[in-house]
Structure 1
Amino acid sequence: MTDSQHARHTNNKKKRNTTLLGLLAVAVVALAGLGIFTFTQLASAKGDIDGAATNASGLQTALESGDQPAAARSLTSLQTNIGSADSTLGSFVFSAASKLPVLGKNVDAVRTVTSSLKQVADTGLPPLVDIADQFNGKTFNPQGGAINVDAIAGIGPNVAKAGKVITAASGEVDRINTSALMGSLQGPVKDVQDKLSHASEISKRATTASEVVPQMLSGKHTYLLLFQNNAEIRATGGLPGAYAVLNIDNGKIKLGEQGSGGSMGSLDYDATDISDEETELFDTKLVTDFRDINFTPDFPRAASIGAEIIKREKNIDVDGVLSLDPVTLSYVLKGLGPVTLADGTTLTADNAVDVLLNGVYVAYPDLRDGGAAQDAFFASATKQIFDKVLSGEGDPNALLKALTRATNERRVQVWDKSSEISTLLSGTAVAGELPVDKAAKSTLGFYLNDATGAKMQYYLDYDVEAKASKCTDAGAQTYSTVTTLRSTAPADSATLPESIRGPGFGAPAGSMLMNVYVYAPNGGKVTDVTIDKEEVATFPGTHEGRGVRLVTVQINPGQTVTVEATVVSGKDQRGDARVLATPGIKPGTKGSVVKSAC
């Protein structure tokens, strides 16, 4: 190479380097500018989303109070803020960023959230705002002993339309894998998932209620109302210790005959056929004693047996069965206010559980009258609360929230003979069904039945924990479960009235004796059951395709007992699992979600 060629080569190289440096500088400046632009856009979107959250809160308040003008204003502001955030995140900058290897999924997640919320704001919420003056507790609240059936039916189409949009949006957001997002996004996105899921569930319930309630209240119907006594625990809640008949006539509701479950005990016939599975798990008392119809955790089955018994024993042909417990009444009394009973006792939200599940047996311990004084007390409580509700007293929104809370805790259950109504109710919390087949693929069950005839579960505190520890290639999961049962009974429980401590069969007076049922998912089984780490005799069985293990547990005053069991699911059950358990006297839900091990 000559000197001149070398010089030209060196100069060209310098020029290329200079050009590259210049381009790099431009790129750096551009990227810096893009970063600043992106940051400001993100900040703007965040401000819009924060504003939307405030609007949503105001909208909820307006809907609950039935303030339609305020609801409309909040909705307009909400649509503006969400629309602005969605427009920002839909720009070319974020569209390009969504294609980047790592950042992309985070951008996609945020864009999915805002677009889904925009759909809810633009399409899902307007139908609710249109009926804001009707979409609240006042619509469902009785006035003068009657419920406005037409008003409830009238909100149905709007509620259903809103529900479809909200449920679709919830499905979109639920598909986001939050665990794959950057830490700062996981919490907010999960919060949106939870809120939309909750809104979807509420909208489904409201849609069902707007369809079912008018059918149950239109025309003439007779319903059996059961009061489950949690102090003597049963799989669905408690002993059906008292009942009342509700007579319906085109929205008008009247309280009819009242009585005790004990008046239909120890029958000399089977109210219905009973399967071999049921006989082995629950004994024939399931169909021969009204007080034991809910040994089964399947409320529709229990209700149908109860309907047959009351038809034969009391000559009352019912169209359906409704059930609730004293904990539900305590929630209702928060919105209703105190009620005074025939004997001068005042029931309040704070004392209802104690009085109805324990105090009445202390106040009226003498059983020589066959429990007539106790029955009269319960009848008075039923009438006074019922009359006050039907008169329209109390805060209607508070009453609706009370029933919603009780339903979430599976304390309110409804069964109807009508196949159309039962189909609408199926799958809802209020149906109280034992999940079977596909519905049981992701469900663990833990149910309790008293085995002594005592009211000692007033002193019972229990909890259920479950954890998925293994997943096979076939998608079968293994769960480790712990049921902790604690007696808070006083040391001198044996001196309590017999109606509390029980007749003393099966266990010492003052101690609890319970049958604990552990249910596997569909096609699964329960193994390795221990009490306080010790192997014990258990009874293996099946119920509607689900493996079951029954173990009897004694708990003395002040004692804590743990029942541990290994549960194995059927194949191809890779998702998260639900835990369903018998509701006790402690407020709060007895259900949880177990994260999948797959």
Structure 2
Amino acid sequence: MPPAKRSASLKLMPINAPKRIIDIEKPKAAPMTDAVAPRGAPQKPRRRRMVLAACLAAFVVTSAAGVTFYDLKRRAFEAKESVAANLKEVAAAFQSFDIAKARAPLRAIKTELEALRAEASAIGAFELFALGGKLFPVLKDIPGALDDFLAFSGTALQVSEELSVLERGAFGMMFTGRGPELLERLGRIDGEVTHMLGLASRLQSSAAALRWQFPGEYLSLMVKLYRHQALLQGLRGFLGDAKPAYLALLFQNPSEMRPTGGFIGSYAVLTVQNGNVTDIDVRDIYDPDGQLDKAVLPPRPLQAITGRWGARDANWFFNFPTSAAKALSFLEQSKIYSEQHVTFGAGVAVNATVIADVLSVTGPIELPEYHKTVTGDNFLATVQEEVESGADKRAGTPKRMLKVLTPLLLQRLANATDDQKRGLAEILRNAVRRKNLMAYAKDRALEAYLENSGLGGELYMSSSPAAEDYLAVVNANIAGGKSDAFMEESIALESNIDIEGKVTNRLTVTRAHTGDTQDAWWYRAPNKNFIQLFTPSDTRLTGLSGNDDKTPDAPLVRPTYLRDPDVEAIERTGAWITEYKALAYDQFGKKTFAAWLTVKAGQKKTLIADYELGSRVLLAEGVNYRFVFERQSGTKTRLQYTVDAPPGFIWKESNATSYAFQSGDPDGRIVLDLTLKKL
């Protein structure tokens, strides 16, 4: 019998009851959506239309954002090239502390970014990116990225303008009682640099949002910002202490050459408190040396003229930080300062030629008591004459003229006009570039800044993986009068790299004494020169000619005298090369060959040194080779350098087998980077 059919029934629901669909087969209630019409009414596809509208809106937004992003990307790429190039200029200007040079590229960056932002705003990019960013998060970062770059460039421009004000006015503030204003400005700039560093930390991600990549420029600028902050904080610490701080100005006379630029005949002590220079004391260097309780043996070459070492001969080391620290140490040991518990926070070496250049800008200074007018042209000769044979010499105070002149000159500098300040800034930059102005600070952060900015006078230390050659020719006048005022020097280095990568060098140093036309005996004196050739540490001398046939004198034996640890460390490495009448030393990571070279007035002598480097050059396409030359402060020298590539190669930079460089007035440090290229 067939199964009975299940009866079906329709259950009516109240009008206000929740809308449900009843499955008559499986009577389980399911809630309806508002999009579903009551049974019996025509069904409208509202859900489908809303989804379609949303998709269409997303398509329109993303399409518009995509087109806008493409247009902006193209424009941003153009801006990126300009920004990257200008960032390089800013970093270079900050490196050389040429703040005026930084302003133009910073303005260019700001203008470029403002134009880019204006164009983005004009095409509605930011609104579209805000909406499109919900679908594509990368879009929402673009407005903020532009803002970061704009804020950074604006703050950097403000800092550069503040620094320019200090460059022109800091000296005057210190000497006219406006020290607190100087400190306040330094503090404000420090805060702005801190803000810049915060912005700079975001620039990499901001650059990524704009598809900009310039990590080299970014890192370079970051490093220089940190260095400038160290300078600002170091200066505030040194200048702003309520206790007196002391700075020694070491006046070097290049007419009597010494390794860092000239004999230290006199010096000045500047007392600084709360940003103000409160005292200037100019003295003969023999004053503190005459009040040293401890006797120290001098370096061997100096023992020919003195039995006791002191501040006057402290600049014996070519590495300026070592010489400056030694000079300050001798000053502090003198009773003049030790009894008053005076310590020096910093030392600045100024060559007499810099003072002459400064006088050419500030104008003549009258010295009525001497019946003289000192100018840039006659400064050196006038002071030298008074020191050697004037009334002050006869009275036992040969450096008194400098004591009278220095405060007058500093007053001129403090009251310089804007035009004079610009001229003085250029003079000081040139002096730093040629190492005629060098500075040393005991504060490590401040000293690091000085070294990185070219003011430190430290020896070059290799940090490059490339094969390198290095040269410095360093002179020391020992009992040769003031004859270096009329010495002319030319340096020629010929290098050859052979088929095995070995570097052989021939160095020719020619020194001409033109003082025979002078009346003063101190200019006509024979130039007795202890010459040192600084080369890479693994150098081997294979020939030397033209030097004096002179054997070193026996060293002084003074059992009660102290031995200086820095001098002893160098002299312990010394070896006498009988064949060449020369000494070999290891110092400051360099191999040094030293000999005597005496030139009489009206004569010329040539020293020729042949040597080879221990390290080999890798012979392969694209291999880098570096030559570094460091000029001695105060010298009048010319440089010629040639290097021949190994067989089968040329130099990429000259597109020839030989590369040549020459300069009639080289900078303090020259770095030449070359690249091998296969024929």
| 1:403 partnered with 2:428 | yes
Deviations along 1:435-483, one digit per CA (max 9) or x if unpaired, are: 457599764222110021511111112233334422786x774443332
Q: Summarize deviations over 1:508-540 as a string: whole Å, max 9, x none.
A: x62211111101124444442222899952222
Query: What corresponds to 1:360 in structure 2?
Result: 383
Q: Distance in 1 between matches of 2:439 and 2:190?
A: 20
Partner in structure 1 of residue 27 of structure 2: none
Paired letter, 2:531? V
Q: Does 1:217 align with 2:277?
A: no
Structure 1 residues 249 and 471, CA gap change in structure 2 (3 angstroms): farther
Equivalent in 580, 601, 604 of residue 560 of structure 1: 604
Partners of 1:255 and 1:567 in 2: CA distance: 52
Shift of 1:580: 1.1
CA distance in 2, matches of 1:299, 1:323: 9
Note closer, same or farther for the CA distance 1:266–1:572 as it changes in structure 2 (3 Å cut).
farther
Equivalent position to 1:131, from 142, 155, 159 = 159
Please point out which of 161, 186, 189 is paired with 1:152: 186
Q: What residue number does 1:243 align with?
A: 267
Q: Shift of the alpha carbon at 1:547?
A: 1.1
Contact 2:480-2:527 within 8 A present in 1 as well: no
1:112 corresponds in structure 2 to none
- Do residues 531 (structure 1) and 546 (structure 2) align? yes
Q: Confirm whether residue 414 of structure 1 aligns to residue 448 of structure 2.
A: no
Equivalent residue letter for 1:425? L
- Structure 1 position 555, deviation (Å): 1.6
Matched, 1:293 2:318: no
CA distance in 1, matches of 2:667, 2:268: 26
Offset, 1:268? 7.8
Q: Does 1:484 align with 2:510?
A: yes
Query: What TM-score results when the alignment is normalised by the length of structure 2?
Result: 0.58
Q: Which one-letter code corresponds to 1:547 in the other structure?
A: K
Aligned partners of 1:468 and 1:597 also within 8 Å: no
Mapped contact 1:212–1:424 kept (Cα < 8 A): no
User: For residues 164 and 464 of structure 1, what CA distance do their matches in structure 2 show?
Assistant: 48
Q: Percent identity?
A: 15
Post-superposition shift, 1:306? 1.8
Distance 1:142 1:266, change over 3 A: closer
- The match for 1:592 is 670
| Deviation at residue 304 of structure 1 after TM alignment | 2.3
Distance 1:536 1:198, change over 3 A: farther
Contact 1:466 1:594 in 2 (8 A): no
C-alpha contact (below 8 Å) 1:513/1:552 kept by paired residues: yes
Q: Letter of the aligned partner of 1:296 in structure 2? A: F
Q: Relative to structure 1, is the Cα distance of residues 64 and 312 closer, same or farther in structure 2, using a 3 angstrom cutoff?
A: closer
The residue that corresponds to 2:475 in the other structure is 448
SS at structure 1 position matched to 2:471? strand
- The one of 571, 589, 593 equivalent to 1:549 is 593
Does the 8 Å contact 1:518/1:526 carry over to 2?
no
- How far does the alpha carbon of each residue in 1:45-103 deviate from its partner, in whole angstroms, 9 at most, with x for none? 89x97xx99xx99xx9xx967998x98865445558999xxxxxxxxxxxxxxxxxxxx
CA distance in structure 2 between the partners assigned to 1:200 and 1:206 by the alignment: 10
Q: Contact 1:271 / 1:305 at 8 angstroms: preserved in 2?
A: no
* 1:232 is aligned to 2:218: no
Would you tell me which structure has more helix in proportion to its own residues? 1
Following superposition, the deviation at residue 290 of structure 1 comes to 2.5
| Deviation at residue 232 of structure 1 after TM alignment | 0.5
Q: Distance in 1 between matches of 2:498 and 2:116?
A: 41
- Give the C-alpha shift of residue 373 in structure 1: 5.8
Task: Say if 1:286 and 1:294, in contact at 8 Å, map to a contact too.
Answer: no
Gaps of 5+ in 1: 1-40, 84-117, 170-194, 502-508
Whole-angstrom CA distance in 1 between matches of 2:612 and 2:592: 11
Superposed, 1:91-240 pairs within 5 Å as 125-136=153-164, 137-138=167-168, 140-143=170-173, 144-147=176-179, 148-156=182-190, 209-219=231-241, 220-240=244-264
Alignment-mate amino acid for residue 158 of structure 2: D
SS at match of 1:243: strand
Change (3 A) 1:155 1:481: farther
Give deviations 1:5-30, integer Å, cap 9, x for gaps: xxxxxxxxxxxxxxxxxxxxxxxxxx
Which has the larger displacement, 427-436 or 231-240?
427-436
SS at match of 2:256: strand
Contact 1:465 1:483 in 2 (8 A): yes
Structure 2 gap segments, 5+ residues each? 1-73, 118-145, 204-216, 550-578, 618-623, 637-664
- Distance in structure 2 (CA, Å) of the matches to 1:359 and 1:384: 16
- From 483, 486, 489, the equivalent of 1:462 is 489
Q: What RMSD over aligned residues (CA atoms) do the two structures have, in Å?
A: 5.0
Q: What CA distance in whole angstroms lies between the structure 1 residues aligned with 2:471 and 2:197?
A: 28
Q: Is the 8 A contact 2:272 2:279 kept in 1?
A: no
Deviation at 1:569, TM superposition (A): 4.3
Question: CA distance change for structure 1 residues 281 and 575 in 2, over 3 Å: closer, same or farther?
Answer: farther
Q: Are the counterparts in 2 of residues 71 and 129 from structure 1 also a CA contact under 8 Å? A: no
Letter in 2 for 1:387: Q
SS in 1 for 2:411: helix
Separation in structure 1 between the aligned mates of residue 374 and residue 429 of structure 2, nearest angstrom: 21
- SS for the counterpart of 2:255 is strand
Q: Secondary structure at the match of 1:431?
A: coil
Q: 1:184 maps to which residue?
A: none
**Alignment check: 8 A CA contact 1:287 1:305 kept:** no
**Contact map agreement 1:336 1:393 (CA 8 A) in 2:** no
Shift of 1:324: 0.6
SS in 2 for 1:152: helix
Q: Which moved more, 1:545-554 or 1:416-425?
A: 416-425
Check 1:364–1:300 CA distance in 2 against 1; reply closer, same or farther (3 A cut): closer
* Contact residue 508 and residue 607 of structure 2 kept, 8 A: yes
Q: Which amino acid aligns with 1:450?
A: N
Structure 1 position 302 matched with structure 2 position 326: no
Aligned residue type for 1:554: T
Instruction: Identify which range, 417-426 or 120-129, moves more after superposition.
Output: 120-129
TM-score (norm 1): 0.65
The amino acid across from 1:243 in the alignment is Y
Contact 1:449 1:515 in 2 (8 A): yes
CA–CA distance in structure 2, aligned partners of residues 347 and 240 of structure 1: 21
Counterparts of 1:64 and 1:429 in 2: how far apart (Å)? 15
Q: Which residue of 2 aligns with 1:34?
A: none
Q: Deviations over 1:475-515 (max 9, x none)?
A: 774443332322221x355xx445x24xxxxxxx6221111
What secondary structure is seen at the aligned counterpart in 1 of 2:601? coil
Q: Does 2:337 match 1:259?
A: no
Superposed, which structure 2 residues align to 1:304-323 within 5 Å? 304-316=325-337, 317-319=342-344, 320-323=346-349
Query: Structure 1, residues 174-209: CA drift from partner, whole Å, max 9, x if none?
Result: xxxxxxxxxxxxxxxxxxxxx999999997875554
Residue number in structure 1 paired with 2:364:
338
Please say which of residues 365-374 and 428-437 is displaced more in the overlay.
Answer: 365-374
In the alignment, is the contact (CA less than 8 A) between 1:410 and 1:432 conserved in 2?
yes
Contact 2:494 2:505 in 1 (8 A): yes
**d(CA) in 2 for partners of 1:286, 1:236:** 21
Helix, strand or coil: the match of 1:127?
Answer: helix
Query: Are the counterparts in 1 of residues 631 and 668 from structure 2 also a CA contact under 8 Å?
Result: yes
Taking the aligned partners of 1:315 and 1:235, their CA distance within structure 2 comes to: 26
Equivalent AA in structure 2 for residue 135 of structure 1: L
Do 2:496 and 2:503's aligned partners in 1 also have CA atoms closer than 8 Å?
yes
